[in-house]
Amino acid sequence: MDPRDDIREFLTSRRAKITPEQAKLPAYGGNRRVAGLRREEVAMLAGVSVDYYTKLERGNFGSVSEGVLEALVRALQLDAPEREHLFHLANATATIKPGGHREASPHVRQAVQRVVDGLADAPAFVRNNRRDLLASNALGRALYSPIYEDVPPGQPVNTVCFLFFNPKARVFFRDWNKAAADVVANLRTEVGRDPHDRLLQELIGELLAGSAEFSAHWASHDVRYHDTGFKTVHHPEVGDLDLTFETMDLPADPGQALIVYGAEPASATEASLRLLASWAATTAAEARADAK
């Protein structure tokens, strides 16, 4: 993927989302040929010439200043994830790039695994920027058992591939459309942060080739953080679960993050998680007995 193409498509898609009314501009006539704002309107709002904005929208960022980028943020009313994505795209086209790509480790350090295992009452995972699940605790593996069970030996457990390639995902994720839109927007953010990640690019290519729904979401150029939120799933053993989640990057392990799920106190989901923990313990005990 060429960063210049990403810039062009991102800026075009953002200005298409803003109406003249939202930008506090007069809507001249009722027959506008473009959705959202025209290029000249964005240029006026950003305080740059139409020719210069046209150059930017074609992906020719060159040595664009931070001030111009901030002006585009204001003109296009970008939120925090979109602003960060724009700055990453600009950095990706810079003539001189600070540092280089650092390949994320596919392994989880023992100290991190001990932290994950210590969260016995909450499902917990370590994942990388491609959404491979690198580690989990017992309750996390039980929660995501539908994702783990169909993965061939030696292949990574990838939540995005499960979401778009496995029919079980549409039952497991109760709001599949939201889950799909969110994860694609998360991956857009990851690509903006590191456009030179070969394995991430290969995953995107596989998804674009194999899923029309992924391709449609990818074309929207939406970007989103994955720091905190809610996830609703239907587990085959304990039924519906309404979960909160918190995501914490692991600074000592670039590209890895710890995700911890939880439930509201005294809720049906909290009771279901206790039942899930009991089911997981029983299943593990039976597996150990069968192995003897």
Give the pLDDT of residue 200: 92
Q: What is the pLDDT of residues 176-194, one digit of tens each?
A: 999 999 999 999 999 888 8
Contact (Cβ atoms closer than 8 angstroms) between residue 126 and residue 142: no
Instruction: Measure the CA–CA gap between 189 and 225, rounded to whole angstroms.
Output: 7
CATH architecture of 110-291: 2-Layer Sandwich (3.30)
**Model confidence pTM above 0.75:** yes
The tokens for 82 are 């979109």
Give the pLDDT of residue 29: 52
The tokens for 67 are 């001030």
Domain boundaries, given as residue ranges, for the chain: 3-92, 110-291
Give the pLDDT of residue 105: 78
Instruction: Measure the CA–CA gap between 266 and 271, rounded to whole angstroms.
Output: 7
CATH architecture of 3-92: Orthogonal Bundle (1.10)
Question: Strands across the sheet with 133-136, in order?
Answer: 133-136, 124-127, 257-262, 239-249, 228-235
Contact (Cβ atoms closer than 8 angstroms) between residue 174 and residue 240: yes
Fold identical between 3-92 and 110-291?
no
CA 134 from centroid of its chain's CA atoms: 17
Give the pLDDT of residue 1: 63
Average pLDDT across each block of 10 residues of the chain; the chain has 292 residues. List them in order: 83 90 72 79 90 89 85 92 90 57 77 93 95 96 94 90 96 97 94 85 94 95 90 96 95 91 96 94 77 68
Contact (Cβ atoms closer than 8 angstroms) between residue 181 and residue 222: yes
Q: What is the pLDDT of residues 137-178, one digit of tens each?
A: 999 999 999 999 988 888 899 999 999 999 999 999 999 999
Contact (Cβ atoms closer than 8 angstroms) between residue 174 and residue 233: yes
Give the pLDDT of residue 97: 46
CA–CA distance from 41 to each of 24, 27, 76, 137, 205 (Å)? 11, 11, 10, 52, 35
